[in-house]
Amino acid sequence: MNQTSFQFKKPLLLLSFSILLLSIFSDNAFARKRKITINADNDAKIYVDGKLVSSGTAKVIVGDNSTLNVRIEKTGFITAERNYINNGKNELPATDFVKLEVDDAYENSFTTDLANRDIDLKTEKNEEEAWKLINRIVASQFDVIEVTDKTTGYLRTAWIVKKFKSATIRTRLIIKSGNSSNLAFKVKLVSEIGSVNASSRDDESFKSWDRLLRSFENIIQELQSRLGK
């Protein structure tokens, strides 16, 4: 190869090498730091990578070739979550307006100390009459009674499951005879919450919920009122 030919090919070799480097690092070529302003409701809490940073508005920086998790929470609304991926491929907004959606599970429930605790139920009726009345009242609210045993004084309904946009809620009633010389019962209205895709039979998917669906608001009061007469 003569010198002229080498000199002619040298720029081509450099160009080819540059193209190769660009190809190798193309995914990261534009992954410089990005600033994003998050706007939500004034009383919405904003968490960045699990840490509470502000309410309403937050300015965040997504580092080179990194992912930033942002979670926005507000009581009564469905939690919104964003993952901002800065890899040179994804287009990141300078400003992100987050509109929270109303939580229909929250909207159809209420906070109460009646959920998940034993409530004493006293009666002046005899055992036969009281047990028939309990079964009649419970059957008016729950489609299926799984167990009813007058001998042991135990009743348990099947779960009633309600699916909402944000969660699955299951509710059941348990009644058992109290340890008393007088006829008495203990009533527990079990209220549990799970993910929207949770199966009603998967106990591990649920946890106690300190709220109660409004459709069960009056059953304890009705039991107390009618058995107390």
Taking the CA atoms of 200, 201, 206 and 210 in sequence, report the sign of the dihedral they define.
positive
Residues 148-196 have pLDDT tens digits of 998 888 999 999 999 999 999 999 999 998 765 678 899 999 999 999 9
Q: Which two tokens stand for residue 48?
A: 């960045």
Q: What share of the chain in percent tops pLDDT 70?
A: 85
| Residue 8 pLDDT | 46
Instruction: Show the beta-strand stretches assigned E in the chain.
Output: 34-39, 45-48, 51-55, 57-62, 66-73, 80-86, 95-97, 109-111, 118-122, 145-149, 154-157, 160-163, 168-177, 184-194, 206-208, 211-213
Q: What share of the chain in percent tops pLDDT 90?
A: 67
Whether 125 shows a pLDDT value over 90: the answer reads no
Confidence of residue 200 (pLDDT cuts 50, 70, 90): confident
User: What does the pLDDT average to over 40-61?
Assistant: 96
Which residue in 38, 41, 80, 50 sits closest to 166, CA to CA? Answer: 80
Q: How many CB atoms lie within 10 A of CB 125?
A: 16
Euclidean distance between CA atoms 129 and 227, whole angstroms: 9
| Residue 144 pLDDT | 95
Whether 16 shows a pLDDT value over 60: the answer reads no
Q: Is the separation of the CB atoms in 69 and 81 below 8 Å?
A: yes
| Residue 180 pLDDT | 58
Domains of the chain plus CATH, in order, are 31-102 (2.60.40.1120), 107-228 (3.30.530)
Which residue in 43, 31, 39, 105 sits closest to 70, CA to CA? Answer: 39
H runs (alpha helix) in 51-126: 104-107
| Residue 29 pLDDT | 44
What is the residue whose two structure tokens read 């990141």?
A: 92
Q: What is the pTM of this model?
A: 0.76
Taking the CA atoms of 192, 196, 74 and 36 in sequence, report the sign of the dihedral they define.
positive
Whether 212 shows a pLDDT value over 60: the answer reads yes
Q: Is the separation of the CB atoms in 169 and 105 below 8 Å?
A: yes
Residues 52-81 have pLDDT tens digits of 999 999 999 999 899 999 999 999 999 999
